[in-house]
Structures are given as C-alpha cells and as structure tokens.
A and B are shown apart, each in its own frame.
Chain A
Amino acid sequence: EAGVTQFPSHSVIEKGQTVTLRCDPISGHDNLYWYRRVMGKEIKFLLHFVKESKQDESGMPNNRFLAERTGGTYSTLKVQPAELEDSGVYFCASSQGFTGGWADTQYFGPGTRLTVL
C-alpha cells in the first residue's frame, strides 16, 4: 500500500512568488492534516480536513496560505505571496478516521522543503 506522498520534495522561490504544495494521502483516509516545521522549532499544526471539509484551520499563519482538498482526495497548500518566514518543511499526514475508540494513527509524508529567498 502506498504511503502519503508529497510533491515537490524541495522548492526554492523568491519572496513575492507563489508556490503550491501537493499531498496525496493514503487511499481511503478521510482525515488529512498539514503541519509545518520551521528550522529549529517544533512541528506545528496548520489545518485539518475531513474529506473535503476544513475541520480546523486554526494553525494557518495568515491569509497568504490557502488549502484545498477537492473531492476529498489529494490536497494542495498554496502560499501567495511567499515571504521569507514561510521557509520550512511542510508535512502532510493522513489517518483513517475516528472509529469510536481512541484516535487512529497519523501517517506522515516525507515533507516538502520550501526555501524563500
């Protein structure tokens, strides 16, 4: 079974440009999460989708970030316009969903390293 995949693995852009990151979750996983790790800091939650609906976007830094999950499959995270402080590694994770017991495991993708110059 394929794991969570992310594209691109690395992106270098200039301040003011636009970048779109893509995440393909594990097939059948309803829950999709985006996280970010800025250098030297902890991995931080950005937002959570259940199927195509945004369940929680409390971690999104500002309105320059836009996440979508069309049809409840893959997700994109667009940064427009990019700023220097947006540099970091963006991780996507997916999980099957709440089944009545404790929350199920989140499986992470390899991440996209974004560098804004």
Chain B
Amino acid sequence: DQQVKQNSPSLSVQEGRISILNCDYTNSMFDYFLWYKKYPAEGPTFLISISSIKDKNEDGRFTVFLNKSAKHLSLHIVPSQPGDSAVYFCAASVNSGGSNYKLTFGKGTLLTVNP
C-alpha cells in the first residue's frame, strides 16, 4: 500500500512558466516532508523540506505548500528553467518522538521544461 503518491508520472511546461508538482499521503503520522530532484544515473538531490507545523516554505525559485487536512503537498517552481528537467520525488518521514527518519518516497514525476 503506497503511503506517498505522486499521481502524475510526467509534466511538461514552457521555460519561464510555473511548474506545479503534486503529492498526496495517507499516513497521518508523517510530519516532515521533502522534495528531491534526480537526474539520470545520479542519486536524489535534496531540494526543499517542510515540517508539519508550517504550511509554506520558500527557497529561491522553489516553494513547498503543505495542506495537512487534505494530506497534500505541492512543489512550485517559478520561473521554470530547462535545467530543472529531472525526476522529482516527494518523500515523507515521521520525526516526532523517534530517532529513525527513514523516508517513504512517491514514485516520482518527470518534469520536462521546454525552451
């Protein structure tokens, strides 16, 4: 049973426009969420994270929004650049009261930014 779902396998946007990648989760114990970017033949690279006490976190062109009641988060990239083309993974973990922060990943969304 998949606890983290990325329902769009792929997304294509024009350079300069906004890219919105979505992620849903089912485990209400998750309280820390991350986005990773992955290029072919490389490992996932950390992009941005958000804890459950916030509903928004921003870092340059990247903003993550968290809607706890809907168990939904999204990653906004604006403006999108061709170098952003990669697979984006949503991941979640349970942090409160424990010491094991294993990540549960979605299947990923392939973002293609067209020049």
Contact = CB atoms under 8 A, between A and B. Distances in A.
Contact of A43 (B42, B46, B95, B105): B105
A95 B91 CA distance: 15
Contacts of A35: 103, 105
Interface residues of A, number: 27
Nearest to B52: A102
A91 B46 CA distance: 14
A7 B18 CA distance: 38
Contacts of B95: 102-103
A47 to B, nearest CB: 9
A109 interface: yes
A88 interface: no
A59 B102 CA distance: 10
Interface string B13-55: 0000000000000000000101010000111111001010000
B10 to A, nearest CB: 14
Interface string A10-48: 000000000000000000000101010000011111001
B43 A108 contact: yes
Interface of A: 4, 31, 33, 35, 41-45, 48, 50, 55-56, 59, 91, 93, 95, 98, 102-103, 105-111
16 contacts: A31-B101, A42-B89, A42-B106, A42-B107, A43-B44, A43-B103, A44-B105, A55-B100, A56-B102, A59-B102, A93-B43, A95-B101, A98-B101, A106-B103, A110-B41, A110-B43
